[in-house]
Structure formats: C-alpha cells, structure tokens
Structure 1
C-alpha cells in the first residue's frame, strides 16, 4: 500500500515509464512481508530490455522485474534503494523520505 505521493507524481512516473525512459518513484509503503521497510522506490521503464540493461549495472536480475498494469519496474528497498538513488543523483528522494543506509 502506497502513501506520501501525489496523483500528479504517479501520473508523471507512468508517463515517463510509458515513453521508454527509466523513471523513479519513491513513496512510503507498507507490506506485511517486509515490515522492516517503510519506503520503496520503483525504477520502471516500458522497454523491458532497457530496464534489464539499466538493472545490470546494479547487479539486478531480470526476473526481479514486476510488471503490473503495463508498468515494468524493479522495487528498490533498504540499502539498495539508497545506493541506487545516490548513484542516480536522486538525493531529493533520500532527503524527502529521510532515507539512510543501515
């Protein structure tokens, strides 16, 4: 379940993903399977081959891609989330959600 994002932010992420670019969306999140994580970043791209190639630089496997409603994405959690956001220059996501590496 997602919290802490606007409809406009979600629509912009969907537009960017649909355009074939890699897009990032960070939000508060709760999933009882992962109670230790309070946020998730979705790194998505409609072009799955491009998303796989992007993920390879972070040692992500193609089989980790979720494809819900036509928006293929990786779910980034915990230290990997912070590492990727930092590497991609998305410091604003880190600051907005108070993310730290443990």
Structure 2
C-alpha cells in the first residue's frame, strides 16, 4: 500500500517515465513481506534498455525490473534506496519521509 503522495507528483512521475526519462518517486509503503521498510523509491523509465543500463550502474539486476506495461520500474528499499538516492543526489526524496 502506497501513501504520502500528491496526485500531481504521481502524474509528473508517470509523464517523465512515459517520455523515457529516468524518473524517481518516493513514498510511504507498507508490505507484509518487508515489515521494517517504511518507504520505497520507484525508479522508472519507459525505455527498458536505458533503465537496465541505469540499474547496472548501481548493481541492480535487470530481473528486478517490474515490467509494468506503461511504467516499468525498479523498487528501491533499504540500503539500495539510501545508497542510490545519495549517489544520484536525490536525498530530498528520502529526507521528506524521514
């Protein structure tokens, strides 16, 4: 379950993904499989090759891409989330959710 996003933020992320940009969006998240994780960052791009290359740069397995028809993306949680957001200069995404 996702929450803590504004509708406009989600629309903007979707637009950027559809346009082939590497787009980031972080939100609160609850999933019984990961009880200690409170946020997730979705990193999406409609250009799968571009997304795979981006992921490879950060040590992400291309098999981890959610092959959503319109919004393919990686879900970043835990240390992957923090390390990658730091490397990409996007800590504001995570700091917002403490």
TM-score, normalised with respect to structure 2? 0.96
More strand by share: 1
Residues 48-102 of structure 1, C-alpha deviation per residue, up to 9 Å, x if partnerless? 000000000111111100022420000000111011111111121121011xxxx
Tell me which residue corresponds to 1:12.
12
Alignment of 1:1-102 (within 5 A): 1-98=1-98
* Unmatched runs of 5 consecutive residues or more in structure 2: none
> 1:77 and 1:95 mapped to 2: Cα distance?
14
SS across alignment from 2:15 = helix
> 1:29 and 1:69 mapped to 2: Cα distance?
22
How many positions carry a matched residue from both structures? 98
TM-score, normalised with respect to structure 1? 0.92
